[in-house]
């Protein structure tokens, strides 16, 4: 039986890097696709192809040449970056997804597709804690593309038999690669500003509570939903998944347990409006029931792991 070949589109990105490392460490064959080569050292030995997801012929050629069986389509313009260039973001996000779904429908070898949706599908009226089937009026181009993308996934599953699976990720926090242009990015970039002479300038309000997740749980969710029996998945759009919720001042208080002198100032910008349109948390009962979703990492463990990974030295206590 031919071995599986896992193709990660957006392999140089924040989630792509972590998923590629996890699959590689699990002994799987992994193919990396992106418009720029990944730089994380453990990925340098893996096959890499430069492909823009807007070029369907190039995607098709690579899927065929490597006998790809599983596609993780992660390339997208995120919420904040997308608002700067809406037409570009829409083109990239929608074309990429439709190309992948279309190829998965037409190529027998492609068994499964994973495509991430987001809390950005929610907007005003979705509720403070958004239900799986909450009203959705997204406030960003990114959110609109994820919302419509979910419906395309459902359509390709029902009418073309594509086994595409999806979850609504919150802000993702990890260390291997930086995030690119999201509203939740402050919770990653702050870890690069713990010891500087100047305070860290946070672009959200101190009280802006958002759903967040450690990268280990995010990778676990993707692998777990892909290994679930298809018949157990009642949702053909994207599953709500929830791990923790915090606001900037709560994150910074936890950081101060490790770095007592850490200083911050607040200068909310356009990203504050995006953040305030999103829920504080998600109800994820359906994911728990259908495929056993159960996050492992809360705020104290998240901060400890970020400090550990970045080898940030705790100032020594006075003698
Ligand atoms: N982290 C994403 C963003 O901020 C949300 O899915 O855009």
Atom of ligand 1 nearest to the CA of 78: 7
> Of 142, 156, 169, 239, which residue is the catalytic one?
142
* Residues paired with 222 in a beta bridge: none
Query: How far is 147 from 235, CA to CA, in rounded Å?
Result: 14
Is 239 tagged catalytic? no
Question: Taking residues 63-69, what's their average pLDDT?
Answer: 98
| 34: phi then psi, degrees, rounded to nearest 5 | -170, 175
How do residues 91-135 score in pLDDT, each as one tens digit? 999 999 999 999 999 999 999 999 999 999 999 999 999 999 999
Question: Taking residues 65-86, what's their average pLDDT?
Answer: 98
Task: Evaluate: CB of 140 within 6 angstroms of ligand 1.
Answer: no
Which residue, by CA, sits nearest to atom 1 of ligand 1?
171
Q: Give pLDDT, residue 317.
A: 36
Task: Evaluate: CB of 145 within 6 angstroms of ligand 1.
Answer: no
Task: Evaluate: CB of 259 within 6 angstroms of ligand 1.
Answer: no
Task: Evaluate: CB of 295 within 6 angstroms of ligand 1.
Answer: no
Which of 171, 214, 242 gets mutated to test ligand 1 (max ligand atoms within 8 A of its CB)?
A: 171
Q: Give pLDDT, residue 2.
A: 59
Q: How many CB atoms lie within 10 A of CB 163?
A: 16
How do residues 173-204 score in pLDDT, each as one tens digit? 999 999 889 999 999 999 999 988 999 999 99
Q: Give pLDDT, residue 314.
A: 46
Q: Give pLDDT, residue 310.
A: 80
Task: Evaluate: CB of 138 within 6 angstroms of ligand 1.
Answer: no
Q: What domains can be seen in the chain, in order of their start residue?
A: 5-170+213-240 (3.40.50.720), 172-211+244-310 (3.90.25.10)
Expressed in angstroms and rounded, the spacing between residue 24 Cα and the centre of ligand 1 is 25
Expressed in angstroms and rounded, the spacing between residue 282 Cα and the centre of ligand 1 is 14
How do residues 147-177 score in pLDDT, each as one tens digit? 999 999 999 999 999 999 999 999 999 999 9
pLDDT at 316 over 90: no
Residue 258 CB contacts under 8 Å (≥ 6 apart), including other chains: 303, 304, 307, 312, 314
**Mean pLDDT computed over every residue of the chain:** 95
3-class SS string, the chain: CCCCCEEEECCCCHHHHHHHHHHHHCCCCEEEEECCCCCCHHHCCCCEEECCCCCHHHHHHHHHHCCCCEEEECCCCCHHHHHHCHHHHHHHHHHHHHHHHHHHHHCCCCCEEECCEEHHHCCCCCCCEECCCCCCCCCCHHHHHHHHHHHHHHHHHHHHCCCEECEEECEEECCCCCCCCCCCCHHHHHHHCCCCCCCEEECCCCCCCEEEEEHHHHHHHHHHHHHCCHHHCCCCCCEECCCEEECHHHHHHHHHCCCCCCCEEECCCHHHHHHHCCCCEECCHHHHHHHCCCCCCCHHHHHHHHHHHCCCCCCCCCC
Of the chain, the percentage scoring pLDDT greater than 90 comes to 94
Expressed in angstroms and rounded, the spacing between residue 171 Cα and the centre of ligand 1 is 5
Q: Give pLDDT, residue 180.
A: 87
Task: Evaluate: CB of 79 within 6 angstroms of ligand 1.
Answer: yes
How do residues 17-31 score in pLDDT, each as one tens digit? 999 999 999 999 999
For the chain, give the number of residues. Answer: 319
Token pair, residue 269, equals: 């910008």
Expressed in angstroms and rounded, the spacing between residue 193 Cα and the centre of ligand 1 is 21
Query: How far is 93 from 35, CA to CA, in rounded Å?
Result: 14
């Amino acid at each position: 039986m031919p071995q599986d070949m896992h193709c990660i589109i957006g392999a140089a990105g924040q989630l792509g890097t972590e998923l590629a490392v996890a699959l590689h460490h699990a002994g799987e064959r992994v193919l990396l696709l992106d418009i720029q080569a990944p730089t994380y050292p453990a990925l340098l030995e893996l096959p890499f192809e430069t492909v823009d997801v807007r070029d369907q012929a190039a995607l098709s050629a690579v899927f065929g040449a490597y006998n790809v069986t599983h596609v993780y389509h992660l390339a997208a313009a995120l919420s904040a970056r997308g608002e700067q260039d809406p037409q570009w973001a829409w083109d990239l996000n929608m074309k990429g997804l439709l190309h992948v779904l279309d190829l998965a429908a037409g190529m027998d070898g492609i068994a499964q597709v994973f495509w991430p949706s987001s809390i950005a599908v929610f907007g005003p009226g979705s509720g403070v804690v958004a239900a799986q089937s909450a009203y959705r009026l997204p406030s960003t181009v990114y959110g609109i593309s994820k919302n419509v993308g979910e419906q395309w996934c459902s359509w390709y599953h029902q009418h073309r038999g594509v086994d595409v699976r999806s979850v609504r990720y919150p802000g993702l926090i990890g260390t291997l690669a930086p995030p690119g242009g999201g509203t939740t990015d402050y919770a990653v970039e702050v870890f690069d500003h713990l010891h500087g002479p100047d305070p860290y300038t946070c672009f959200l309000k101190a009280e802006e509570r958002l759903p967040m997740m450690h990268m280990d749980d995010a990778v676990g969710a993707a692998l777990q939903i892909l290994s679930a029996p298809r018949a157990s998945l009642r949702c053909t759009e994207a599953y709500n998944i929830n791990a923790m919720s915090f606001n900037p001042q709560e994150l910074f208080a936890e950081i101060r347990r490790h770095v007592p002198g850490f200083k911050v100032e607040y200068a909310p910008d356009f990203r504050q409006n995006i953040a305030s349109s999103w829920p504080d948390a998600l109800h994820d009962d359906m994911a728990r029931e259908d495929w056993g979703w159960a996050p492992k990492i809360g705020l104290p463990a998240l901060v400890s792991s970020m400090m550990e990974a970045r080898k940030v030295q705790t100032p020594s206590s006075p003698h």
